Amino acid sequence: MTDSKPTLADWQAAAAKEVKGKDLIWATPEGIDVKPLYTAEDVAGIDPGLPGFAPFTRGVRASMYAGRPWTIRQYAGFSTAEESNAFYHRNLKAGQKGLSVAFDLATHRGYDSDHPRVTGDVGKAGVAIDSVEDMKILFDGIPLDQMSVSMTMNGAVIPILAFFIVAGEEQGVPQAQLDGTIQNDILKEFMVRNTYIYPPEPSMRIISDIFAYTSANMPKFNSISISGYHMQEAGATQVQELAFTIADGMEYVKYGVASGLDIDKFAGRLSFFFAIGMNFFMEIAKLRAARVLWHRVMTKLGAKDERSKMLRTHCQTSGVSLTEQDPYNNVMRTTIEAMAAMLGGTQSLHTNALDEAIALPTDFSARIARNTQIVIQEETGMTKVVDPLGGSYYVEALTQELVDRAWEIIERVDAEGGMAKAVAAGWPKAMIEEAAAAKAARIDRKEEIIVGVNKYRLADEEPIDILEVDNHAVREAQIARINRVKAARDEAAAQAALDALRKGAAAKENLLALAVEAARKRATLGEISAAMEDVFGRYGTSPTPVKGVYGGAYGDDARWAQLVDGVAAVGRRKGRRPRMLVAKMGQDGHDRGANLVSSAFGDLGFEVVAGPLFQTPQEAADLAIKSDVDVVGASSLAAGHKTLIPELIGLLRQAGRSDIKVVAGGVIPAQDYQFLRDAGVQGIFGPGTNLVDAAGEVLRLLGHNIPPEGIEEAAE
């Protein structure tokens, strides 16, 4: 008897016998067929090289974490500069190594806290910054010549960076010593996040001006962080996130070169920012593929310096993967995602807190999130080996698959004139929204399992303690400080600096240089933004929900068919289809939830009025009345629901239209439900709500009674 080496055919026969004919191929949302077994044949011809050497597949540094771990850089900011500063000091004392600043939505959109459009937004989803004085308080006691600071800012990037520079100067730190990163990624904003201010062309000019200024004055500072994070959060597949992020980077480099900059003088200061979701190996392969693609792109664009071709990235664990239901599961999710970021070779990392599906993190949850990284670094031995998954048949094959699929999209973008033109044409946004709708449908149909949400659901949910910001108190404090700053400044000098900024915007002078001078004269963020808006205008768009994706996923599903019949019955009774306004009030531009609602309800037969972004309650009420809707679905993701939705209901009542039903959906803590019901909200749909169930509830509000158990029976 002789021993023989088993063949692949032997394994296939054994596996087929074990699973009794079940197909083990996994078709991912990216369209990749993942096999249950990978062998040397799958990586024939693939050479990932060595860490620290081109094309940097295995990492940008030869020693990677064996030499120095990634930077723990927790993204945080809330309420006032004083509150955020105290939070930063606590985190730094507890082991955090870098700062990452979250600004409130009023700041993102270029409004001072006293502007009437931002009454529900001040201090809620980040820290309010109106002037240099706020920025100085934010970094009080934090030496800016020793601390690396990352700032997530895109729309109001000019005044925020100007304030940072002046705050450093007045702390005694020259610009050349400032270390950190500004996000400054406006193409992504037009595609998914929507915290833009100006039209695309002047927005791209702003990026070039920042490249030029920082190249000349701030050699340690990263002038842009090209972000795929918000794409994945908006529903993009990992292939889409990868392709569009690299294509965005290509576009920014082209604009920098076109403005007269030497590619190798600024490209080495560009950095990236990726989301890390729950598809563990896909995320690892994505970061490896990103480095390969960026090296290829920068070589094609003419870079000579290898540092210009080296993709360095920050990562953040997914917010979308967090659940309101059974929230302690989020600790495990974040741990898994943190490990994927580490194994993929990130340079810095933020780990989300367990309560961030419903609110800003408390000190308790923030400590767990931060310590997740510290435990991985200090206790596991994971940092001792460089790229430990290098050579894995699966990981190497998956990396190459992502490179090839993303490159197809990048080539399409390039052939059609670049990412700015693609964004203007709208097809990347549409592609992402179709992917988001398909994912939502898979979750609702339990084809994709979310533990504690659509499977293993707890019978009773215990509320957890959450952080709540007193929006009214924060706004009053900010307005008082604005008034003090204006009273103390040399008004003529401030206005002269703002006039110079206006003239410079028209004359194509460097906007950041002019804004720094205005900041020194104590011009506010709103004033600096408005001076540029006088020349550039303010950009606005209305959502265009995708059609057919959600409904197509249900096909002949009896549950779906029952709801379609219900919508038709309401339509027959009314003499027209039931009409719903999906309203986005306040300055929150995250429109994934609103677009999913519009898509699902539209596919069911509702006539959907997709309201424009950034409405005030008055504007939403006026549109609801003008459109003669039956129901308003108010989408809230940024904690403005206790201010904006009650105001909307009051305005409808004042106009004699209390017959218009108001429902609310999004990131709304269960503790706030009774407050909203008392204000007149007739349906509340929190994170993880099944949209088909939500449609049944809305139909009942409109007088068509479909018992919940009837829907469940139809689903069976």
Whether the bond between 55 and the residue before it is cis, its omega within 30 degrees of 0, is: yes
Residues 555 and 406 in one domain: no
Counting DSSP H helices and E strands in the chain, the numbers are 29, 16
Burial class (CB in 10 A: 0-12, 13-18, 19+), 592: buried
Residues 361 and 214 in one domain: yes
In the chain, the largest separation of any two C-alpha atoms, in whole Å, equals: 99
On average, the pLDDT of the chain sits at 92
Structural domain boundaries, residue 213: 43-59+66-424
Burial class (CB in 10 A: 0-12, 13-18, 19+), 258: exposed
Question: What are the backbone dihedrals phi and psi of residue 182, each rounded to the nearest 5 degrees, phi first?
Answer: -115, 135
640 within some domain: yes
445 within some domain: no
446 within some domain: no
Please determine, for residue 281, whether its predicted confidence score (pLDDT) is greater than 60: yes
Q: Average of pLDDT values for 19-31?
A: 89
Q: What is the CATH number of the domain that holds 674?
A: 3.40.50.280
Confidence band (pLDDT; 50, 70, 90) for 503? very high
Question: What are the backbone dihedrals phi and psi of residue 73, each rounded to the nearest 5 degrees, phi first?
Answer: -125, 90
Residues 50 and 187 in one domain: yes
Distance CA 136, CA 152 (A): 17
* 140-169 residue pLDDT tens: 999 999 888 989 999 999 999 999 999 999
479 within some domain: no
Percent of the chain surpassing pLDDT 90: 76
* 306-330 residue pLDDT tens: 999 999 999 999 999 999 999 999 9
* 64-93 residue pLDDT tens: 999 999 999 877 767 789 988 998 898 888
Q: Average of pLDDT values for 638-655?
A: 90
The tally of domains found in the chain comes to 2
* 649-661 residue pLDDT tens: 999 999 999 999 9
Residue 705: the pLDDT is 75
Q: Which of 371, 395, 424 is the last residue of a domain?
A: 424
Long-range CB contact pairs, 441-448, < 8 A, 24+: 441/549, 441/550, 441/553, 441/554, 441/600, 442/29, 442/553, 444/690, 444/691, 444/692, 445/553, 445/554, 445/557
* 165-206 residue pLDDT tens: 999 999 999 999 999 999 999 999 999 989 999 999 999 999
- Please list the alpha-helical segments (H only) found in 391-524: 393-415, 419-425, 427-444, 471-488, 491-507, 511-520
Long-range CB contact pairs, 460-467, < 8 A, 24+: 461/325, 461/326, 461/670, 463/669, 463/670, 463/671, 464/327, 464/354, 464/355, 465/362, 465/364, 466/355, 466/358, 466/359, 466/360, 466/362, 466/669, 466/671, 467/78, 467/355, 467/359, 467/360, 467/361, 467/362
Residue 639: the pLDDT is 65
Q: Which of 424, 441, 470 is the last residue of a domain?
A: 424
Query: Which residues is 179 bridged to in the sheet?
Result: none
Residues 558 and 418 in one domain: no
Please determine, for residue 683, whether its predicted confidence score (pLDDT) is greater than 70: yes
242 within some domain: yes
Please determine, for residue 1, whether its predicted confidence score (pLDDT) is greater than 50: no
434 within some domain: no
* 222-255 residue pLDDT tens: 989 999 999 999 999 999 999 999 999 999 999 8
Stated pTM of the model: 0.91
Burial class (CB in 10 A: 0-12, 13-18, 19+), 369: buried
Residue 315: the pLDDT is 96
Confidence band (pLDDT; 50, 70, 90) for 546? confident
Confidence band (pLDDT; 50, 70, 90) for 434? very high
Distance CA 696, CA 572 (A): 17
Q: What is the CATH number of the domain that holds 394?
A: 3.20.20.240
106 within some domain: yes
378 within some domain: yes
Please determine, for residue 2, whether its predicted confidence score (pLDDT) is greater than 60: no
Q: Which of 369, 398, 424 is the last residue of a domain?
A: 424
Please determine, for residue 709, whether its predicted confidence score (pLDDT) is greater than 70: no
* Residue 547 CB neighbours (<10 A): 15
DSSP state of 41: G
Burial class (CB in 10 A: 0-12, 13-18, 19+), 44: exposed
Return the active site residues: 75, 229-230, 584, 588, 590
Q: Token pair of 90, please?
A: 């606590």
